[in-house]
């Protein structure tokens, strides 16, 4: 992960606000329409993240089109007391970090990430850790509508999302995974979770 303090002596949150204020780009607001590729695996989740079960999903993602440009992402989703939630998230774009935090309450942190692929081999780097996968030829179309519950400005919100693409089986050593290629992903504006639950 990037250092908590930069050369100006700022903490991550202070640096994000500084860059956002002085950036020539407009911080993108919901909804976001994204395209890219992702590797999805079943992973253990750290118990101190407030999860109900020790397992959740990890997505290693390369976005080749988004409102904030090209970037990479690691997202950990698990079941919590509030419902399904993104409990950890890392990106290598300051604009994605700021937009995700302000728009939906996603816990995005900056990290050094990298995505590369050649033929049936795929590699994703998260700091000093490298994930390697072998992709098979067997594929099938996938379509998903889901939601996660996040905390935004002290309020519990529901974040609807929908995605479609084509999946192929992949293996990281003995670990089973899915490569979702050329997906289209829409992250919709947040909704008040309390109002939805009271209906």
Chain-centroid distance, C-alpha 11? 22
Exposure string of 40-51, with b = 16+ CB inside 10 Å and e = fewer, is: bbeeebeeeeeb
Who has greater pLDDT, 107 or 195?
Answer: 107
Q: Using only C-alpha atoms, what is the Rg of the chain?
A: 17
Q: What's the rounded mean pLDDT across residues 115-131?
A: 95
pLDDT, tens only, 163-185: 999 999 999 988 999 999 999 99
Structure tokens at 43: 């992973």
- 121 within 8 A of 112, measured Cβ to Cβ: no
Using DSSP's 3-state secondary structure scheme, residue 49 falls into: helix
pLDDT of res. 26: 57
pLDDT of res. 11: 44
CATH architecture for segment(s) 12-198: Beta Barrel (2.40)
Who has greater pLDDT, 25 or 93?
Answer: 93
pLDDT, tens only, 94-120: 999 999 999 999 999 999 999 999 889
Report the C-alpha gap between 146 and 186 in whole angstroms. Answer: 11
Q: What's the rounded mean pLDDT across residues 176-195?
A: 92
**pTM value?**
0.85
């Amino acid at each position: 992960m990037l250092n908590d303090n930069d050369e100006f002596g700022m903490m991550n949150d202070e640096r994000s606000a500084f860059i956002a204020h002085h950036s020539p780009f407009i911080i993108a607001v919901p909804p976001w329409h994204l395209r890219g590729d992702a590797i999805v695996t079943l992973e253990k989740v750290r118990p101190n993240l407030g999860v109900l079960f020790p397992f959740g999903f990890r997505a290693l993602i390369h976005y080749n089109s988004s409102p904030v440009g090209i970037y990479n992402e690691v997202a950990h989703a698990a079941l919590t007391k509030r419902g399904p939630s993104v409990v950890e998230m890392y990106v290598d774009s300051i604009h994605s970090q700021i937009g995700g935090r302000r728009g939906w309450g996603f816990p995005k942190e900056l990290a050094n990430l990298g995505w590369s692929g050649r033929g049936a081999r795929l590699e994703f780097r998260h700091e000093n850790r490298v994930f390697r996968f072998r992709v098979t030829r067997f594929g099938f179309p996938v379509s998903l509508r889901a939601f996660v519950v996040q905390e935004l400005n002290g309020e519990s919100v529901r974040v609807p999302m929908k995605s479609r693409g084509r999946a192929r089986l992949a293996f990281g050593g003995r670990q089973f995974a899915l490569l979702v290629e050329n997906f289209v992903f829409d992250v919709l504006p947040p909704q008040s979770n309390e109002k939805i639950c009271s209906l």
